Structure 1
């Protein structure tokens, strides 16, 4: 039961690491995707992770859910065709997608926001609305398969919603 994390340099360290370790505690296997397999991805505050797979190697069918941490990482990878395709495929298959902070920038670029209730960091609220999303200012917003949160202070709510959804969707 693998959960995919997509990350780019300058990701918000705690927004990747907190859910990463929480899902391990619950018996799921996190897998990090980056630009290149084995590549080092450096967080905004200096923590780093190694990509288990490249974006181009990802087979969405092999994963239970997608987690998109915030920080500046989403901005750096949001235009990559593979990242947009991965994201769209998770939505097409109605698999859980959890995005926090600036993570919804990837959802916007992938064209999956229209008609969805969600939240994000306040600085991209206008982008969510312009993409057709219904912005809700709350610690966590669940809309079908989509989970979203605003910032690191919301992580307990974000991780709790993610775990609840994962337990309901076991493969």
Structure 2
């Protein structure tokens, strides 16, 4: 099984690496791609965090990530699901029609899609949120509403997620564990304990 993961410069470090490792643990092949970058190119990640007394989050450099796949070479029919992390890359990739077409492909086929934090900006821009509910970073609420969706707001980022059909979303990286659990269920992978 293969999962496509969208990325770009300033992707949230933990929201990139944690899903890759969780899916690899289950022997799911994850292809991380970025428009206009090819295999061997690097995506620069960032780490965001809230500091008391500040009105917005701070940003620090994260770990560099070397792409093993080229966006231009992907065959969407090869993938069972799509993962969209957050960070700042969604704010510019939501203007890339190629990225929006990728998202539309997965929704048109009701394939599993997960989006965390600012990843919902890409969903909103792609037009797939009509009559859907989702969560995301609280500053993305207007994007979701403008995209025709209903925003599910949480007081806490930790362990809060929302599932609407083939879509699982969450406000931020503290919920990555529960998002991955639900995304893996949507992929149809059974884990025996």
Taking structure 1 as the reference length, what is the TM-score of the superposition?
0.93
Question: Based on CA coordinates, which of the two structures has the bigger radius of gyration?
Answer: 2
Matched, 1:56 2:78: no
Q: Distance in 2 between matches of 1:54 and 1:6?
A: 11
- The structure whose RCO (Cα within 8 Å, separation 6+) is larger is 1
Match of 1:41 in 2: 43
Higher helix share: 1
Q: CA RMSD in A?
A: 1.4
| Structure 2: gaps spanning 5 or more residues | 47-60, 155-159
How many equivalent pairs are there? 169
TM-superposition CA deviations, 1:4-47 (whole Å, max 9, x none): 00001000000111111001111201111112212211101321
Q: Distance in 1 between matches of 2:88 and 2:11?
A: 5
Which residues of 2 match residues 54-133 of structure 1 at below 5 A?
Answer: 54-133=70-149
TM-superposition CA deviations, 1:91-115 (whole Å, max 9, x none): 1111111000000111111111111
Runs of 4+ residues deviating >4 angstroms: none
Contact 2:124 2:146 in 1 (8 A): no
